[in-house]
Chains A and B, each alone.
Chain A
Amino acid sequence: MTPAPRPDERSEAEPPDVPGFRTWRDVYLFVFGWFVLVVILLTVFTGIFS
């Protein structure tokens, strides 16, 4: 009853269809950059209030 594999599943090369991002790699880089920014902001926050 487990369905057959999906041979037509959209591939890695398929664009994410998100404005400003051409590839999934761009999306991942954005998320990673956001994470780094959040850590920096938390470090600054710690510095200001501790």
Chain B
Amino acid sequence: MNVADWVVLLGTIVGIAAYGSWRTRQVRSLNTYLRGNAATGWGTIGLSVMATQASAITFLSIPGQGFESGIGFVQNYFGLPLALIIVCAVFLPMYRRLNVYTAYEFLGQRFDKKTRLLGAGLFLLQRGLAAGVTIYAPAIIISTVLGWPLEFVIVFTGLLVIVYTVTGGSEAVALTHKWQMAVISAGMLTAMVVLLLRLPDGLGFTGAAHVAGALGKLQAVDFSLDPSRRYTVWTGVFGGLFLSLSYFGTDQSQVQRYIGGASLREGRLGLMFNAVLKIPMQFVILLLGALLFVFYQFAPHPVFFNQAEWRRHAQDGRFRAIEAQHASAVAQSESAIRLWLQARASDDAAREASARVAMVAASHRTREIRAEAKAVLVAADPRAKTTDSDYVFITFILTQLPHGAVGLLVAVMFAAALSSKASELAALGTTTTIDFWRHFRPLAAGDEARNMRAARRFTALWGVFAVAFALFAGFAENLIEAINILGSIFYGVLLGLFVVAFFLRRVGGSAVFFAAVTAQTLVIVMYFSLDIGYLWYNLIGCAACIAFSVALQAVLPPRARIDEGRAG
């Protein structure tokens, strides 16, 4: 990175954070601090919802997924539009009618205090743990490739987000989200344009897409019913529906983005904005990864993209031999691809078929050498990090983009990290204040200034906790999956609580509380003992919570006798 990159990076990231803090420094109303400006329109709400979900991991790992496994991951988002329709029709009107600050207040009003605390507790546990990952994930990658100290990146990101989130609360979060999304969109568009311009002459988008497709990277949909396959249309629609419903309907970091605003209409249109754009957006990011794969078929590239890790261990002849084999295999693969393209243009079906077989075999050989490289790495050090797909896109950015654009793309990663982190911190601070602090200090509920101070302190505290957690914890290598797995373990039961609340009017607080505890235990036991796609745990947790609630309610005394007068 040169001076131009630094100017772009610091100008955008620090500039947006400073602007957010300055514009919201006068926030004195608890309502504005926790729910944002009451005049917020649907565009801001929509961008804020999108920015909350789009973490830095989205822009680092997903192109890597496209590169490594193809674009099938897009199916993971198939349940999202359906879930958002349900949130718009059922969840959002109820939250606005009850005028709650958190989703878990609704549980208190519908059931009782213990169920509200359980819902809020599950959220804090899941989101609090994920908070460390969302700050660590981009930091480890950025610090590795840029050679910056990991601790510096974590602390810099953490302090920046803490300052503006604590200063302006939800209003600052929504305000900065708009500008961060502008940076992200501009950066990703730049990367895509540069990538298309860097493809070999005459190949173009269509030719590159044909190469990617022939090498198995463009299977967007898979209708297989095999439950062991991680991404299919069915896991996407059903598992993804439950995951998205839990995330958008019951996770305070999202609920807080849309319960404020000028009216119910603005919240609904903001969510529909996401329902329409999310799948195309994820498709484009994955396609970028698949096109990166094609680009690297024609360009020299390392056998292992996490070069810092590779160099740390590549001390002997085995590593040099692997590098030489890889360079030779890449050259053969490029040659085979060019022959296939010529055969394809010749309209000779037999020639095209045999050239395709040769091309796939050459690509397969390259893949085998990459696998061998990882095996050699593990043989040298069993604790070596062997997943390098997260480093593919950032390697492209640093080696292929012009100066200025490099700074912009690094700013994209920071903007995405800050945007998701800010929503998390605001939500964690709000839930701790409203659902726990006020629960144990009911006399303080009427003191707005004291509530504001508490909300600010808890937000700052969660920020410090996330930074400390990121500094001292070790994390799984595939970070996007780690977050999704964590979410799938807890979200299903949390959603179950809300489904019972909305649709099973006869079930009372005690039945749903013990059902949720049992269902959560069951999901955790199943996770450690079974090998099934993790998205199914959303469905299992939700279904178990509902079924246990109905069963328990059948044997418990009628709801009116045990829950009357407990609403909190």
Contacts and interface: CB of A to CB of B under 8 A. Distances in A.
Interface of A: 1-6, 9-10, 12, 14, 16-18, 24, 27-28, 31-32, 34-35, 38-39, 42-43, 45-46, 48-50
B100 A2 contact: yes
Given A9-B93, A46-B220, A49-B213, A27 B99 contact: no
Given A1-B438, A24-B88, A50-B218, A32 B81 contact: yes
A50 B99 contact: no
B219 A6 contact: no
B230 interface: no
A2 B438 CA distance: 10
B164 interface: no
Contact of B265 (A10, A31, A32, A50): A10
30 contacts: A1-B445, A3-B31, A4-B99, A5-B99, A6-B97, A9-B96, A9-B97, A9-B264, A12-B89, A16-B269, A18-B269, A31-B85, A31-B272, A31-B276, A35-B81, A35-B82, A35-B275, A35-B279, A38-B279, A39-B233, A42-B74, A42-B220, A42-B283, A43-B221, A45-B220, A46-B219, A46-B220, A48-B213, A49-B210, A49-B213
B216 interface: yes
B209 A49 contact: yes
Nearest to A25: B89
Contacts of B216: 50
A2 to B, nearest CB: 6
Interface residues of B, number: 47
B446 interface: yes
B99 A2 contact: yes
B284 to A, nearest CB: 12
B421 interface: no
Task: Identify the 7 closest CB pairs spanning chains A and B, nearest first.
Answer: A49-B213, A42-B220, A49-B218, A35-B81, A3-B99, A1-B445, A46-B220
B280 interface: yes
A46 B175 CA distance: 39
Nearest to B447: A1
Contacts of A24: 88-89, 268
Contacts of B212: 49
Contacts of A39: 78, 221, 233
Interface of B: 30-31, 74, 78, 81-82, 84-85, 88-89, 93, 96-101, 105, 209-210, 212-214, 216, 218-221, 233, 263-265, 268-269, 272, 275-276, 279-280, 283, 434, 438, 445-448, 451
Given A14-B265, A49-B213, A38 B93 contact: no
A31 B434 contact: no
Contacts of A28: 85, 88-89
Given A1-B446, A32-B85, A42 B221 contact: yes
B99 A31 contact: no
A42 B284 CA distance: 12
Contacts of A12: 89, 93
B55 to A, nearest CB: 23
Contacts of B272: 27, 31
A4 B98 CA distance: 7
A17 to B, nearest CB: 6
Given A14-B264, A31-B275, A39-B78, A5 B218 contact: no
A46 B389 CA distance: 23
Contacts of A6: 96-97, 99
A14 B272 CA distance: 16
Given A9-B96, A46-B218, A49-B210, 19 more contacts: A1-B446, A1-B448, A3-B99, A4-B99, A6-B97, A9-B264, A10-B264, A14-B264, A24-B89, A28-B88, A31-B276, A34-B276, A35-B81, A38-B280, A42-B221, A43-B220, A46-B219, A46-B220, A50-B219
B96 A34 contact: no
A48 B97 CA distance: 48
A17 B276 CA distance: 18
Contacts of B218: 45-46, 49-50
A2 B93 CA distance: 17
A1 B85 contact: no
Contacts of A35: 78, 81-82, 275, 279
Given A9-B97, A48-B213, A1 B268 contact: no
Given A4-B99, A10-B263, A17-B265, A46 B221 contact: yes
A27 B273 CA distance: 11
A5 B98 contact: yes
Contact of A16 (B93, B209, B268): B268
Contacts of A5: 97-99
A4 B30 CA distance: 14
A9 B264 CA distance: 7
Nearest to A48: B213
Contacts of A42: 74, 220-221, 283
Contacts of A10: 263-265
Contact of B30 (A1, A18, A31, A48): A1
Nearest to A27: B272
A24 B269 CA distance: 10
B139 to A, nearest CB: 33
A49 B82 CA distance: 27
